């Protein structure tokens, strides 16, 4: 017999609100540390941070409540990866539930619009319960339904061999926490959510899977469709369900449980009636297969691995989790974000800030402390960057004029939009000079050709047409010296990197192609060397091919211009460069009204203090309003350091 609420849901076509159900995870972690080691103190900029320190030995991860289970898992993976990164050497994260120290609760919030629509549909006309009491009654129905499902949930998700190879079970005084109603702290009489205690999945680094979360959401809605338990029988139903669940937890995890066939079949019938998305179908079929094949349950797999020795079974599980959480280049759960956004998120989690991913595709993040809130795009673009400054900085020729007007050194040159004018200028002047040809709009090193030796007419034509894509071409006099990349945040230089063009150095045995592969194996994806048309052209100029075996110590360049994103080398010189160049970089950012910027300057000698005269000692060649936060973390030589924390300090220290 259907209950009254479910009849209203069907009548008013409200089941579509199922996808608006929000879910989150609260996980308590007590890392395993070597004797004498201590858990690092975790920063706390917001009381809603993903990672919170609850004691000297324990942390708590609390994900936001989201309507996408895959995003919940992503938040958990990201938070746990940063916890792992902060642990002392040989520190570990437990992969099994152990009482109050390592456990997790799944928090489920039904859509508020569901209660509103149902309450309106009742048409009480002043004779029914108040709204809060009504919504609490619905939560009571769902909580009772989940309690009746405890045997099934225990069978599906129990994992821990903590007690003689059996699944973990809470102490009698903690059994009530297996399914618990959560009150609104601002309105204690109002049920805010339901918490379901679920054991850690040792085969998932996050301790929980997307399939588990989807199944739990469907379990709540299935409970909402079932007849209400009569009040006199409620206590006995709860006692029976707890006893059955405890029996399953204490039993042989590889043995089938006949009593679970009926509830899983009933849920299958219900799901077929309401309809399934591919993700929900996958989740249910996984759980259904576990009922039919006990050896595929989490507990069954753990029991099989631990047949001889439980400790031996834990080792590969911990190793598997570590492999997922200790990705060298990407932030687990958010590897499809830009490198900038990932670097910023690492600092956000480490700093104890609250954050929300507003748009994955556009890399839009909202970060908050307890007193401030900021939205950032691509990890570094903030509301403090004027729109006009962004436009000017995007166009090199306009930026040069602003810098020159401020009395700052820039390269002499001209802008061309048509080939006949550029060709005439080349024949009259540029043909006998060392020049740089580049797109007028910033291109992150792409289509930039630097000619230390004056180019031929053919070389100049190739460079011009490659650079002339959208907004014209700049032809400039080549500066004397080396390119240095300054990152400016809040009128302070936080990093200086020396740039060198993409190159390989021979060892007398390997070909250029093999040397490139070897070098790429040690580099992040954003700084891979490429054997493209530009590289092949440079190789031809040096009378070699990709199959040439270089002499030991012989250096060959794959690009003419120095830029990290075209495979260039970077060396950290933050503490070596003369401070006067830091002042020059800050002045360039100020001139363009950019509080955050990357400034590229060609410098003749980084140790000689800058002076406006003689001309050519330093030339500003580029100002980027969105600095690359990842570059200082991965220099080819010199100290690696993260500059994202400096960006957060700047944003949240000012009001």
pLDDT tens per residue, range 301-311: 877 766 545 44
Per-residue pLDDT, 176: 75
For residue 545, the SS3 value is: coil
Domain residue limits, the chain:
4-330, 412-477, 503-558
pLDDT of residue 298: 84
pLDDT band at 169 (very low <50, low <70, confident <90, very high): confident
Query: How much is the pLDDT for 118?
Result: 95
Per DSSP, 202 falls in state T
Name the average pLDDT for the chain.
Answer: 90
Local structure of residue 561 (DSSP, 8 states): S
Confidence of residue 125 (pLDDT cuts 50, 70, 90): confident
**4-330 and 412-477 in the same fold:** no
Give me the pLDDT at residue 300, please.
81
Rounded mean pLDDT of 424-450? 89
- Determine the topology of domain 4-330 in CATH: Creatine Kinase; Chain A, domain 2 (3.30.590)
Q: 220, 195, 190: which is closest to 129 by C-alpha?
A: 190
CA distances from 366 to 202, 342, 363 (A): 32, 13, 10
Residue tagged 């009504």 (tokens): 134
Residue 165 predicted with pLDDT over 80: no
244-253, 280-289, 332-341, 629-638: segment of lowest average pLDDT? 244-253
Per residue in 473-531, pLDDT (tens digit) is 999 999 889 999 999 999 999 999 999 999 999 999 999 999 999 999 888 888 999 88
**Which pLDDT score, from 0 to 100, does residue 189 have?**
86
| Amino acid 635: pLDDT | 94
Q: Are strands 354-359 and 187-197 parallel, antiparallel or unpaired?
A: unpaired
pLDDT band at 319 (very low <50, low <70, confident <90, very high): low
Domain 412-477 has CATH 3.30.1490.20: yes
User: What's the pLDDT tens digit per position in 458-486?
Assistant: 999 999 999 998 789 999 999 889 999 99
With cut-offs at 50, 70 and 90, classify the pLDDT of residue 315. very low
Task: Give the pLDDT score at 100.
Answer: 76
Whether 312 shows a pLDDT value over 70: the answer reads no
* pLDDT recorded at residue 313: 42
Mean pLDDT, to the nearest integer, of 93-104?
Answer: 83
The strand pair at 596-603 and 618-624 is best described as antiparallel
pLDDT, tens only, 215-259: 999 999 999 999 988 888 888 989 999 999 988 888 888 888 999
Handedness of CA 225, 226, 229, 234 (dihedral sign): negative
Listed in sequence order, the residues at least 6 apart from 649 whose beta carbon sits closer than 8 Å to its beta carbon are none
Q: How far apart are CA 496 and CA 510, in angstroms?
A: 33
When pLDDT is averaged across residues 51-65 and rounded to a whole number, the result is 95
- Compare 170 and 345 and report the one with higher pLDDT: 345
**Secondary structure (3-state) at 237:** helix
Q: What is the pLDDT of residue 182?
A: 93
Q: What confidence score (pLDDT) does residue 310 get?
A: 47
**Chain-centroid distance, C-alpha 556:** 37
pLDDT digits (tens, 9 = 90+) for 536-594: 989 999 999 999 999 999 999 999 888 888 899 999 999 999 999 999 999 999 999 99
Q: Which residues of 72-89 are buried (b: 16+ CB within 10 A; e: fewer)?
A: bbbbbbbbbbbbbebbee
What's the helix, strand, coil split of the chain in %, to 5?
Answer: 40, 20, 40
With 70 as the cut, is the pLDDT of residue 327 above it?
no
- Is the bond preceding residue 614 a cis peptide, omega within 30 degrees? yes
């Amino acid at each position: 017999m259907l209950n009254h609420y479910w009849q209203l849901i069907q009548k008013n076509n409200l089941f579509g609100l199922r996808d608006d159900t929000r879910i989150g995870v609260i996980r308590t972690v007590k890392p395993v540390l070597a004797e004498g080691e201590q858990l690092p103190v975790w920063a706390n900029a917001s009381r809603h941070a993903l990672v919170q320190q609850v004691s000297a030995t324990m942390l708590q991860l609390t994900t936001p409540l989201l309507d996408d289970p895959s995003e919940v898992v992503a938040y958990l993976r990201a938070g746990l990866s940063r916890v792992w990164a902060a642990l002392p050497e040989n520190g570990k994260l437990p992969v099994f539930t152990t009482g109050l120290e390592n456990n997790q609760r799944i928090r489920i919030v039904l859509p508020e619009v569901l209660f509103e629509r149902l309450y309106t549909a009742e048409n009480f006309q002043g004779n029914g319960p108040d709204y809060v009491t009504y919504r609490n009654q619905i939560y009571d129905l769902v909580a009772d339904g989940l309690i009746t499902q405890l045997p099934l949930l225990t069978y599906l998700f129990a994992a821990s061999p903590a007690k003689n190879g059996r699944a973990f079970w809470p102490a009698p005084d903690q059994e009530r926490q297996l399914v618990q109603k959560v009150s609104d702290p601002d309105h204690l009489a109002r049920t805010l959510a339901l918490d379901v205690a679920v054991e850690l999945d040792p085969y998932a680094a996050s301790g929980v899977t997307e399939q588990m979360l989807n199944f739990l959401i469907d379990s709540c809605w299935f409970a909402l469709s079932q007849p209400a338990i009569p009040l006199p029988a409620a206590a006995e139903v709860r006692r029976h369900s707890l006893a059955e669940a405890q029996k399953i937890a204490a039993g042989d995890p590889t043995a089938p449980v006949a009593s679970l066939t009926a509830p899983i079949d009933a849920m299958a019938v219900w799901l077929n009636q309401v309809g399934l998305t591919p993700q929900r179908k996958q989740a249910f079929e996984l759980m259904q297969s576990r009922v039919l094949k006990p050896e595929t349950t989490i507990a069954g797999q753990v029991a099989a691995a631990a047949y001889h020795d439980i400790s031996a079974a834990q080792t590969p599980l911990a190793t598997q989790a570590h492999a997922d959480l200790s990705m060298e280049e990407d932030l687990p759960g958010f590897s499809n974000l830009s490198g900038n956004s990932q670097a910023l998120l690492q600092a956000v989690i480490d700093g104890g800030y609250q954050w929300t991913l507003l748009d994955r595709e556009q890399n839009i993040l909202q970060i908050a402390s307890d007193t401030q809130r900021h939205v950032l795009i691509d990890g570094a673009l903030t509301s403090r960057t004027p729109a006009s400054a962004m436009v000017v900085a995007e166009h090199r020729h306009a930026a040069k004029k602003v810098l020159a007007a401020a009395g700052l050194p820039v390269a002499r040159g001209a802008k061309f939009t048509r080939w006949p004018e550029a060709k005439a200028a080349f024949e009259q002047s540029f043909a006998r000079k060392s020049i740089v040809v580049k797109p007028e709009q910033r291109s992150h090193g792409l289509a930039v050709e630097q000619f230390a030796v004056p180019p031929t007419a053919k070389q100049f034509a190739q460079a011009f047409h490659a650079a002339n894509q959208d907004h014209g071409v700049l032809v400039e006099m080549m500066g004397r010296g080396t390119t240095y990349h300054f990152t400016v945040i809040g009128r302070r230089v936080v990093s200086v990197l020396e740039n060198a063009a993409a190159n390989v150095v021979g060892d007398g045995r390997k070909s250029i192609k093999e040397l490139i592969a070897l070098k790429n194996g040690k580099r992040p994806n954003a700084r891979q060397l490429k054997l493209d048309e530009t590289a092949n052209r440079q190789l031809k100029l040096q009378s070699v091919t990709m199959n040439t075996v270089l002499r030991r110590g012989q250096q060959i360049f794959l690009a003419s211009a120095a830029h990290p994103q075209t495979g260039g080398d970077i060396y950290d010189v933050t503490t070596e460069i003369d401070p006067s160049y830091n002042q020059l970089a800050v002045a360039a950012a100020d001139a363009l009204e950019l509080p955050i910027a990357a400034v590229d300057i060609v410098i003749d000698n980084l140790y000689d203090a800058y002076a406006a005269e003689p001309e050519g000692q330093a030339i500003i060649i580029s100002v980027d309003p969105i600095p690359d936060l990842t570059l200082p973390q991965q220099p080819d030589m010199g100290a690696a350091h993260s500059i994202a924390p400096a960006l957060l300090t700047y944003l949240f220290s000012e009001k």
